[in-house]
Amino acid sequence: MKISASFLGVPNIGQTLRRLNVTDVDYIHVDVMDGKYVKNKTLSFNEFKEIPNYTRKRLDVHLMVQNPLKMIDNYATLNLAYLTVHINIKDNLEKIFQKCQTYGIKVGLAVNPKDDISIVFPYLDKIDLVLIMSVEPGLPGQEFIKSTLTKIDSLKDEIKRRGLKTLISVDGGITLDNVKYLKDVDIIVSGSTITKSPNFQDTIKKLRA
Question: Among all residues, which ones are annotated catalytic?
Answer: 31, 171
Query: In whole angstroms, what is the distance from residue 132 CA to residue 111 CA?
Result: 5
Q: Could you report the per-residue pLDDT of 39-92, keeping only the tens digit for each?
A: 888 888 999 999 999 999 999 999 999 999 999 999 999 999 999 999 999 899
Please report the pLDDT score of residue 42 as a whole number.
85
Outline where the chain has alpha helix (H): 13-21, 45-48, 72-75, 93-103, 148-161, 192-195, 200-208
Q: Per-residue pLDDT for 162 more than 90?
A: yes
Please report the pLDDT score of residue 140 as a whole number.
67
Range of the domain at 101: 2-208
SS3 116: coil
Number of domains in the chain: 1
Element of type H or E holding 82: strand 80-86
- CATH number at 23 reads 3.20.20.70
